[in-house]
A and B are shown apart, each in its own frame.
Chain A
């Protein structure tokens, strides 16, 4: 019995020695998220416009129905998304849109600080997603 008491005390004492703390002082000190972390979406730009061809695969596969796409044709006859909107309040960050995309036009970044003051600010339009 006493052996176990002393064992327990020695474990806690070892933790007390400097260099054993695992805390990250978050706002001052940030960890790098891994490459496959699923954070905020980003539309990949091509030369002059977004890569997206408005094929509607991402809104179709989206389980949370948070992606709104409206397609149009530009002067060269290419299809492009006139409206591309993601409602982050509904998004579940599953990454199915990235998997479904045939032209790799959408990807997920490591951005995870998504808090905001207004509901409207959670609607990410094409311009914000292209940044």
Chain B
């Protein structure tokens, strides 16, 4: 068994491998973000019996590039009444947590290179899940700051709604994850993926993925994270029809593009985390990263599909669902899981 590559045995190789991993993950996420916008417009278009973008390139394939160029050359407007520093800071504060969350997601099995074992994961934190929850909590500061510093009543309403929504749904999503690490006995995402390898204890033809032993937690986590990343049907913070796109009303040019990218980056990250926690991470018939990508794409397609199908929930329905339905369900799930885990021992 070769040694695990670390700072203590081969510094240059460690740094090089880290750099390559970070760059690869970053580039892949950026590419998915860019083309997720194209896929979303295409898929929603066809679901509404339209075609979506058709003019820029073959079937509109160059649309993300054209959009990016257009936004880049737009005038960057900062309202005179806005609070400048938080106004400029907010788009970054929303994008950075979205990107750095991906650092703890393992995307493949260990590979052996030059006699060292290199884990295919940027950083294997032993408190991986806590880190994810913390970063998800940080994301809301960007939205609230954007809403408040714009000095616009619609933006402020969007920001306030967003924080209320986050607080309500983070609880349900977080509590549903607790049931997962009650089973896996570890907070590290790598450990959770390893705990899901092998056949299912009851039905040996199925993989031991947590979606099969924790279907309720899976549902709660997916719905809760939809609400956390402000996707339809929980897109109340930006609700075009009532709040004229809410917290990003006053933003233009690249600052707006950052909000846009953050939304899709959040989608990618949430999909990757859901795949890791419930669908066995990189496990599957192909090479690790490809399995993970397939699962991520499936989740993203599902999110887009939902957006094309369901209308936005009303604000009181949102609060009712979060506090009176999802939270008790998540708590009950923990209790039942605890009893079953005790009974199995």
Contact = CB atoms under 8 A, between A and B. Distances in A.
Interface of A: 5, 8-9, 11-13, 15-16, 20-23, 25
A9 B46 contact: no
* Residue from the set A5, A22, A23 with the largest chain B CB neighbour count within 10 Å: A23
Contact of B310 (A8, A13, A15, A23): A8
A16 B43 contact: yes
A23 B305 CA distance: 20
Interface string B24-54: 0000000000000000000101111111001
Contacts of A13: 47, 305
Interface in B286-345: 305-306, 308-310
18 contacts: A5-B310, A8-B310, A9-B305, A9-B306, A11-B309, A12-B305, A12-B309, A15-B48, A16-B43, A16-B46, A20-B49, A21-B45, A21-B46, A21-B51, A22-B49, A23-B49, A23-B50, A25-B51
B42 to A, nearest CB: 10
Q: Which 9 A-B pairs have the closest CB atoms?
A: A12-B47, A12-B309, A23-B51, A8-B309, A22-B49, A15-B47, A16-B46, A12-B308, A16-B47
Interface of B: 43, 45-51, 54, 305-306, 308-310
A16 B43 CA distance: 7
Contacts of B50: 21-23
Contacts, number: 34
Contacts of B309: 8-9, 11-12
Contacts of A9: 305-306, 309
A8 B46 CA distance: 15
A5 B309 CA distance: 9
B251 to A, nearest CB: 30
B46 A15 contact: yes
A21 B46 CA distance: 6
Contacts of B310: 5, 8
B54 A25 contact: yes
Contacts of A22: 49-50
Contacts of B48: 15
Contact of A15 (B49, B54, B306): B49
Contacts of B306: 9
A21 B310 CA distance: 20
